[in-house]
Amino acid sequence: MTATVTTTVPGGPVAAELPFFVYGTLLPGEPNHDLFLRGRTAGERPAVLPRALLYDGPGYPYAIEGHGRVHGTLLVAAPGVYGELLGLLDHLEEFLGPGHPRNLYERVVREVELPGEAGAPGPGDGAGESVRAWVYLAAAAVTRSLRTGGVLIPEGRWTTGRTPDGS
């Protein structure tokens, strides 16, 4: 059985199994990728979240709305595991529901750019297509704190300093 998720976003309700855009500990090679995503994805590819900034956190990053770009990966859930994956990611990201006061992140729908092939025509900065995806952005209280005293991550790319072999 496939779970269909319905939520309200600016512009109306969404009822779809949207892909997920990840930019921190869920990236390939990071520890939460294997813990939460191994065997649960049918596809992963590089992607960019426009109109966002990336801030350093306590072992993981936060993305917020802003005038920048965040680099990450677009994940498509494997057949039959969408509901399970959504629940796991909501738990990991401490998302309790839209606007909940104890949220660490808000799960929102955003347009994500998929890089095009070299030389292929596409909108701005060589981007190929654009797709709607779930993105976990810092909740309102966290965003306020980041804007006043957070450490911005240059270029919108989060790394832990690990080598590709995980060491």
Copy the structure tokens of residue 90. Answer: 């909501």
Copy the structure tokens of residue 11. Answer: 């512009």
Q: How far apart, in whole angstroms, are the C-alpha atoms of residue 48 and residue 17?
A: 19
What distance lies between CA 84 and its chain's CA centroid? 17
Find, among 98, 78, 99, 96, the residue nearest to 87 by Cα: 96
Residues known to be catalytic: 93
- 39-89: pLDDT as tens digits: 999 999 999 999 999 999 999 999 999 999 999 999 999 999 999 999 999
Quote the pTM value. 0.82
Residue 29 DSSP one-character state: T
- 22-34: pLDDT as tens digits: 999 999 999 999 9
Q: Left, alpha or beta for 93 (phi > 0: left; psi -120 to 50: alpha)?
A: alpha
